């Protein structure tokens, strides 16, 4: 009896509360601002040291913005679907449908906006198919997505040949695999300011020119669709996290059985989410075909649907993180398109600085092993930077892919996806 009472005497932590702070994965706004500012200083410093002027030029930032948008839109589509518990790897296919729908209708009707609507509608149609297969029939989400990715490009290629090899189309430059030029959307350039910023940018002053480049990139030739996309990102946050509709939708991704028991029509919300998802991917496709280009081209998406999905995972199924991921991928995408090998090479310097910074942070947190590894890799990258003059162009193309692999390999344990994400849910089967 003595032993047991002793055992019972020392009460460990209370049963309900956990001592851990809930900061993991969620940063406060001011922390994000400081981190972004620090990153900017690092890039600026790298530009100054290496002379890779394109790292922060007006063109580079403008390119970042326009390359990031399709990725961000696809990622946002993924976020909608996965928050409702449906994994949507079919984003790529839906994006392809978007490029065709936009290209065809815009050319046919001479209206960019009708093209936009058609792209969204075709993307949503792909979403409808995915929703039917996964929600109504209960097919595995990955299998369904892969099937859609096989089907959609086939249809787009078939229809494009049908639509763009007519005499009327070929006369305007259409062909088997591409549409004639299509009307674009209006772009916003602030007169005076843009040119002044470009002028400032050309001076290459530390931080000042870099900042001018950044702002100039935003206010020069800004497409209205970019504005729309940003609005959709912000709007999605409010809809998903601040409205009853969003609450219901997210509950389907966390615990559909519970949602059903409270009278939520889980199928309907999943359908809605996947339809929106397809529409957003379609809009991403429209962006590729009609903003970053001015015609539809077969295979134009180049796997950006997958990158979008990756940026969503990178962003921990949250809008802010997703935007950051899309921005990062857009930045490298944009830089690789610029003919400035010095700037590309300077990327190594940025990576090295970031790695060493992270290592120091780990050292401060007494995680010496990680700190050591980080320092070693950082040092290697510095050696690589000093020993070479340029980066092989072949590898620059896959920077987003390698970044995704690294981020997922290093930070995957911190990520938290919706609890019922990817699980097939059948109505009435919960206990």
Partner 1 sequence: MNANTKPPAAAERPAKGLGKGLGKGIDREKLLLAVAAPVLALIATMVITAIVLLCSGKEPFGALRVMGTYLGYSDYQVNTLNQATTYYLGALAVAFGFRMKLFNIGVDGQYRIGAFFAAVAGGAVNLPAVLEIPMIMVVSMACAGLWAGIAGWLKVTRGVSEVITSIMLNAVAGSVIAYLLNPKRLALAVGNDVRTPKIPDSGHFFSFNLAGGQLWGFIIIAALVGIGFHLLLNRTRFGFDLRATGRSESAALASGVNVKRMVVVSMLVSGALAGLIGMPQLLNSSYQYSVDFPAGIGFTCIGIALVGRNNPVGIAFAALLFAFLDTVANPLQFNGYQVELVPVIEGTIVVCVVGTYEVVRRYGLRRQQSRVGEQLGRTGPTATDTAKGVAA
Partner 2 sequence: MHAVVGENGAGKSTLMKILYGMQRPDEGTIAIDGEQVALHSPADAIARGIGMVHQHFMLADNLTVLENTTLGAEKLHGIGGRARARIQEISQAYGLGVRPDALVEDLGVADRQRVEILKVLYRGARTLILDEPTSVLVPQEVDALFDNLRGLKEEGLTVLFISHKLDEVLKVADAITVIRRGTTVAEVDPAGTTSRRLAELMVGSELPSPEASESTVTDTEVLAVRGLTLTEPDADGVARTVLDGISLTIHRGEVLGIAGVEGNGQAELVETIMGMRAADSGSVVLDGKDISGLLTRARREAGIGYIPEDRHRHGLLLEAPLWENRILGHVTEAPNSRRGILHPSAARQDTARIVAEYDVRTPGIEVTAASLSGGNQQKLIVGREMSGDPALLIAAHPTRGVDVGAQAQIWDAVRDARRRGLAVLLISADLDELIGLSDTLRVIYRGRIVADADPATVTSEELGSAMTGAAANGNERPEGDTP
Alpha-carbon span 28 to 30, nearest angstrom: 6
Query: CB-based contacts of 101: which residues, under 8 Å, 6+ apart?
Result: 115, 118, 119, 120, 121, 122, 123, 282, 285, 286
Written as six digits, the tokens of 53 are: 């002027």
Judge contact between 290 and 103, C-beta under 8 A: yes
> CB of residue 96 vs partner 2: minimum separation in angstroms?
33
Give the residue carrying structure tokens 């994965």.
Answer: 25
Written as six digits, the tokens of 296 are: 């539809």
> CB of residue 105 vs partner 1: minimum separation in angstroms?
16
| Nearest CA-CA partner of 336 in 383, 386, 286, 391 | 391
369 lies in the site for partner 2, by CB under 8 A: no
Instruction: State which of residues 146, 254, 377, 397 lies at the interface with partner 2 (CB under 8 A).
Output: 254
Judge contact between 94 and 305, C-beta under 8 A: yes
134 lies in the site for partner 2, by CB under 8 A: no
Instruction: State which of residues 57, 251, 311, 362 lies at the interface with partner 2 (CB under 8 A).
Output: 251
| Nearest CA-CA partner of 178 in 157, 196, 193, 197 | 157
Nearer to partner 1, 43 or 313 (CB): 313
Instruction: State which of residues 146, 211, 258, 377 lies at the interface with partner 2 (CB under 8 A).
Output: 258
Query: CB-based contacts of 365: which residues, under 8 Å, 6+ apart?
Result: none
Nearer to partner 2, 199 or 242 (CB): 242
Residue 159 class from Cβ within 10 Å (0-12 exposed, 13-18 middle, 19+ buried)? middle
Residue 365 class from Cβ within 10 Å (0-12 exposed, 13-18 middle, 19+ buried)? exposed
Residue 218 — left, alpha, or beta (φ > 0 → left; ψ -120 to 50 → alpha)?
alpha
> CB of residue 82 vs partner 2: minimum separation in angstroms?
13
Which residues 21-40 are close enough to bind partner 2 by CB under 8 A? 22, 24
Nearer to partner 2, 234 or 411 (CB): 411
Does the CA dihedral 158-162-163-168 come out positive or negative? positive
Residue 24: contacted member of partner 2, partner 1, none (CB under 5 to 8 Å, by partner type): partner 2
Instruction: State which of residues 110, 187, 365, 419 lies at the interface with partner 2 (CB under 8 A).
Output: 419
261 lies in the site for partner 2, by CB under 8 A: yes
DSSP reduced 3-state for 233:
helix
Alpha-carbon span 328 to 75, nearest angstrom: 13
Nearer to partner 2, 16 or 186 (CB): 16
Does the CA dihedral 381-387-390-391 come out positive or negative? negative
Instruction: State which of residues 82, 260, 298, 333 lies at the interface with partner 2 (CB under 8 A).
Output: 260
Which positions touch partner 1 (CB under 8 A)?
89, 129, 132-133, 137-139, 142-144, 146-155, 157-158, 161-162, 303, 306, 309-310, 313, 392, 394-395, 397-398, 401-402, 404-405, 408-410, 412-413
> CB of residue 232 vs partner 1: minimum separation in angstroms?
23
> CB of residue 368 vs partner 2: minimum separation in angstroms?
18
The conformation of residue 53, written as its DSSP 8-state character, comes to G
Residue 5: contacted member of partner 1, partner 2, none (CB under 5 to 8 Å, by partner type): partner 2
> CB of residue 265 vs partner 2: minimum separation in angstroms?
8
Which residues 36-65 are close enough to bind partner 2 by CB under 8 A? none
Site string for partner 2, 374-413 (x = CB under 8 A): ---------------------------------------x
> CB of residue 257 vs partner 2: minimum separation in angstroms?
6
Residue 398: contacted member of partner 2, partner 1, none (CB under 5 to 8 Å, by partner type): partner 1
Which stretches does DSSP call E strand in 191-275? 222-223
Residue 402: contacted member of partner 1, partner 2, none (CB under 5 to 8 Å, by partner type): partner 1
| Nearest CA-CA partner of 279 in 122, 104, 132 | 122
3 lies in the site for partner 2, by CB under 8 A: yes
Residues that bind partner 2 (CB under 8 A): 1-5, 7-8, 11-12, 15-20, 22, 24, 242-244, 247-248, 250-251, 254-255, 257-264, 413-414, 416, 418-419, 428, 431
């Amino acid at each position: 009896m003595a032993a047991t009472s002793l055992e019972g005497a020392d009460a460990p932590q209370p049963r309900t509360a956990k001592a851990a702070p809930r900061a993991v994965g969620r940063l406060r706004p001011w922390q994000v601002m400081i981190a972004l500012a620090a990153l900017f200083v690092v890039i600026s410093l790298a530009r100054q040291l290496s002379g890779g002027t394109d790292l922060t030029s007006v063109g580079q930032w403008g390119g970042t913005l326009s390359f990031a948008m399709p990725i961000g839109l696809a990622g946002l589509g993924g976020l909608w679907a996965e928050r409702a518990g449906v994994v949507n790897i079919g984003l790529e296919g839906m994006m392809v449908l978007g490029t065709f729908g936009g290209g065809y209708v815009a050319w046919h009707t001479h209206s960019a906006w009708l093209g936009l609507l058609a792209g969204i509608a075709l993307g949503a149609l792909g979403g409808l198919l995915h929703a039917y297969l996964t929600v109504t029939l209960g097919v595995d989400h990955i299998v369904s997505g892969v099937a859609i990715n096989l089907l959609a490009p086939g249809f787009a290629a078939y229809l494009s040949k049908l639509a763009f090899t007519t005499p009327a189309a070929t006369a305007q430059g259409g062909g088997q695999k591409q549409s004639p030029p299509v009307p674009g959307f209006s772009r916003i350039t602030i007169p005076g300011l843009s040119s002044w910023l470009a002028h400032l940018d050309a001076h290459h002053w530390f931080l000042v020119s870099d900042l001018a480049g950044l702002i100039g990139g935003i206010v020069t030739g800004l497409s209205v669709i970019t504005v729309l996309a940003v609005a959709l990102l912000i709007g999605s946050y409010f809809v998903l996290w601040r409205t009853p509709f969003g609450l219901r939708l997210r509950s389907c991704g966390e615990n559909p059985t519970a949602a059903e028991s409270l009278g939520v029509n889980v199928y309907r919300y999943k359908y809605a989410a996947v339809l929106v998802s397809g529409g957003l991917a379609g809009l991403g496709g429209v962006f590729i075909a009609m903003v970053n280009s001015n015609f539809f081209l077969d295979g134009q998406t180049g796997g950006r649907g997958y990158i979008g999905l990756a940026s969503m995972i990178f962003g921990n199924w949250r809008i802010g993180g997703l935007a950051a991921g899309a921005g990062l991928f857009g930045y490298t995408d944009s830089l690789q398109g610029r003919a400035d090998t010095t700037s590309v090479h300077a990327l190594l310097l940025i990576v090295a600085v970031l790695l060493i910074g992270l290592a120091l942070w780990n050292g401060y947190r007494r995680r010496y092993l990680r700190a050591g590894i980080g320092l070693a890799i950082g040092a290697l990258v510095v050696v690589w930077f000093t020993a070479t003059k340029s980066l092989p162009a072949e590898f620059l193309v896959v920077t987003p892919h390698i970044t995704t692999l690294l981020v997922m390999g290093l930070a995957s344990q911190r990520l938290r996806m919706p609890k019922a994400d990817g699980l097939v849910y059948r109505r009435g089967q919960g206990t």
